[in-house]
Amino acid sequence: MERFEGKVAVITGAASGFGRAFAQKGAQLGMKLVLADIDGDALSDVVESLASSGADVIGLPTDVSNGGDVEALAHRTLEAFGKVHLLFNNAGVGASGFIWEMSANDWSWVLGVNVMGVAHGVRVFTPIMLEQNEPAHIVNTASVAGLISPPSMAIYNASKHAVVALTETLYHDLRRVGASVGCSLLCPAFVPTGIAEAERARPAHWRNEGALSASQLLAARELRRAVRSGRLSAAQIADATYDAVRENRFYVVTHPAIMASVRMRHEDIEQMRAPTDPLTAPQE
């Protein structure tokens, strides 16, 4: 997909972080935008900001863990613009702490958004793109946590490993049918976004009643510190991602220094040895 001007982009998790940066970049490129987020107020702010700068943009509050919401998003997209050319399955949340201290609600929430959100996006929008029979592209946001398994991040790691496997399989399946639809897998490391504050958007039915454990409090502090220390901005991640779409490049690893830990994990598997803590592996 080499041209963006006049094309239609659908972006989930669009009210903050990467999603907002994808929307701003799309607007700069002259795309028509359909923005989705569970936070309706924040979404309205983004839509109004982009519209005031001349973008052709609409927004729809969407819980991507709900298949019906994603189907409604597709219906609204076609109603407004008739087609969809670029899909960012980007909405994501996280919960951290020792794995045995995570609740059933933690698992349901993170897997519901991070895995089923991507699955619903692929399930609903891919047939539309295939029927159009013109260049289109899907970008699924995973994480370096989908390539390695850092401690105290079990649910998040599991969700992002699932997105990696899902997207690699999507790539194979699209090639099997000779589709004009491409796909990319975005695997960033820590970037200053709102991921550390995702708890604020957790739906009431998935909230925990008890106090956080010591491991959960520590992991949350470490995550906030790591996110703040990120050297790349969300805008730079958006630039790199649009470049990958233009070049039809599958893997988008925005922090190449992490590849030392990725190789270490692969070597652990190949040599059948116990896993190395990726946070202790030397960075390139």
Going by DSSP bridges, is the β-strand pair 8-12/56-61 parallel, antiparallel, or unpaired? Answer: unpaired
Give the other-Cβ count within 10 Å of 247's Cβ. Answer: 12
Residues known to be catalytic: 156
The answer to whether residues 4 and 30 touch, using CB atoms and an 8 Å cutoff, is yes
> Rounded CA gap, 93 and 195, in Å?
6
Residue 227 token pair: 């996110």
Buried b (16+ CB within 10 A) or exposed e, 140-174: bbbbbbbbbbbebbbbbbbbbbbbbebbeebbeeb
> Rounded CA gap, 22 and 92, in Å?
14
Give the other-Cβ count within 10 Å of 29's Cβ. Answer: 16
CA distance readout (Å), 128 to 82, 118, 121:
10, 16, 11
